[in-house]
Every structure is written in C-alpha cells, then in structure tokens.
Amino acid sequence: MSYKSLKFLILWIPTIVVGLWEYVRHVFLLPYISMELGNFLAPALVFLFTLTLLRGLFGKLEQTQEALQRERVSKASFQQREQLARELHDGISQSLFLLSVKLDKLEHMELGDDAKETTVQIRQTVKHVYEDVRQSIANLQSPAVVVDDSWLTAIHGAVNDLLQNSGVRAKLDWQLQEGVLSNKQLVELQSIIREALMNVRKYAQATEVQVISRQQGDEDFVCEIKDNGVGAEPSQIEAKDRYGIRMMRDRAEQMGWLFDIKSAVGGGTTVRIQSGGEGK
C-alpha cells in the first residue's frame, strides 16, 4: 500500500465510521436505542476502530516512513561515495599512472645498479598503491550493505569479487544469523573482511582461504579469515607500512571489537575479529 493511500485511509476512516453509524442508527436503530446511548456509542465505535484497524495502518505508515528515510539516506550516501570515487580516479589514480610513465622513462636511462634496484622497488610500491586505489574505487562504486539485503549474499559477493581469477579457493562457513548486528556493524565487518581478502590475494601466495563466523550468545560473534599462504614474521605484520592491517585494527577498535592477527612463515595467516568479552 502506498504512502498516500495510507494517509487517505487514516484521515477518512473515522469520518466514514461516524457517518455510517449515524445513518444506521437513525434509519434502523432509532426505535431501539435512545439518543443518549447512541451519542455514547458513536465515540466508542471510533475508539474501537482506532485500536484495531487504524492502529495497524499507523504501524504500516511508520514502516513506510522509515523505509523512505533509509532510501533517502542510502541514496545520499551512494552519491557521496560516487563523488569520492571520481575524485580518487581523477586525482590519485591518474597521478600514479603518470608516475608509472615517468618510471618507464627512468628505466631506459643509464643508471647504476643501486639506482636500478631502487627504481624497481618504487615501481612495485606504485603498483601496489595503484591496485589499492582501484579496489577502493570499486568498493565505493558498489552499494553499501543495508539491513534489508541478505548479509550472506553480501559476503559471498565480497569473496567472489576479491578472489576472482586469483587462483585462490574460498570456503565460507557462515553461522552468524541476520539481525544479530546493526547496519553499521555489518558495514564495518564487511570492510575488514574485504581488506583481509585483499591482503590474501596480494601477499599470501595462498591456494585456499576460509571465512568463518560463529555466533556467541544473542549479540556477540567471532569471525576468522584463514589462509594457507607463505605467512610472515610478526615484525613484518606490525610494520609501519602495513596500512591495510592498521585500517582493519582501527575499524575493529572503533566498534569495540577485539582484533588479532597471527602469522608464521610457511604457516599461513589468521585474522580474528571478536565482539563481546575481551572485545568490549
């Protein structure tokens, strides 16, 4: 039922009820019901319809208003994300491309071994930053998760998008029921999972990754992203230039979650996010 139809019914039902009652009373019930009793029953009937039919209509009207508000907020948010994506593409992405072109020219010049090695390292860094910017643009251009969407479908989409054509098999064991987390929590958790999967694709040299979630109680959860890749030393995990890990940790801490990452050379990496208990 449309928003206008609900308002029309809410405005006109009391009037129609009173009109029908007065017609029935004067045409059919006047010999049996006194004027005083009829005047008392009229507001009683209106009150009865308000408690039954109109109460349900008011509930639907509130739901419609909330849905319209969510749609407006989502549309405004998506427009902002598109604007930011355009700015990233027109600014940072194009600057990185020009920097890559200049590196090509530099590589063709006569340089010493040390300079050539430095040039190769700079090119690798530019490539990684460029890939991060492209992924960020893709994330901004995709609709954000909303409460009415299937959370499991959104996770499947994130896994497929990030690991497509990478040679990494993904196993999803999702036991977190919809409705456990708020919309903001869902968005933040999905962002952490995306970043963890991006790191698997770029650095882990893994053949398999598992995304596992378990519910703990009514409101708490544990989520793990495990890969069977080459792993890393703890000093490498905590290095200052590991911006992706810092971003995941910051997101988790802002939500009051516990964030932990364990890795060993040759033993793969596990990213763990936990709410409740120590995570609060």
Reported as a single tens digit per residue, the pLDDT across 64-105 is 878 777 777 767 766 766 776 666 666 676 677 777 777 777
Q: Structure tokens of 215? A: 């519910």
CB 210 within 8 A of CB 224: yes
Residue 165 sits at the vertex; the CA angle it makes with 159 and 170, to the nearest 5 degrees, is 35
CA dist 45 and 185 (Å) reads 46
Give the pLDDT confidence score for residue 278 in this predicted structure: 46
Provide the pLDDT for residue 147.
43
d(C-alpha 186, C-alpha 232), whole Å = 29
Query: What number is the average pLDDT over the span 13-19?
Result: 81
Contact by Cβ (8 Å): 203, 258? no
At residue 111, φ and ψ (nearest 5 deg) are: -130, 160
Q: Which long-range contacts (CB under 8 A, 24 or more apart) does 43-46 make?
A: 45/17, 45/18, 45/21, 46/14, 46/17, 46/18
Asked whether the predicted pLDDT for residue 13 surpasses 70, the reply is: yes
Hey, how many other C-beta atoms are within 10 angstroms of the C-beta on 104? 11
Asked if 252 contacts 259 with a C-beta cutoff of 8 angstroms, the reply is yes
What would the pLDDT profile of 236-269 be if each residue is shown by its tens digit?
Answer: 887 755 777 888 998 899 899 999 999 999 999 9
Closest listed residue to residue 168, CA positions, set 113, 227, 249, 99: 227
- The DSSP symbol for 265 reads T
Residue 279: its pLDDT value, please? 41
Look at the pTM and tell me if it is higher than 0.75. no
3-state secondary structure at position 184: helix
Burial class (CB in 10 A: 0-12, 13-18, 19+), 156: middle
- The better pLDDT of the pair 43, 50 is held by 43
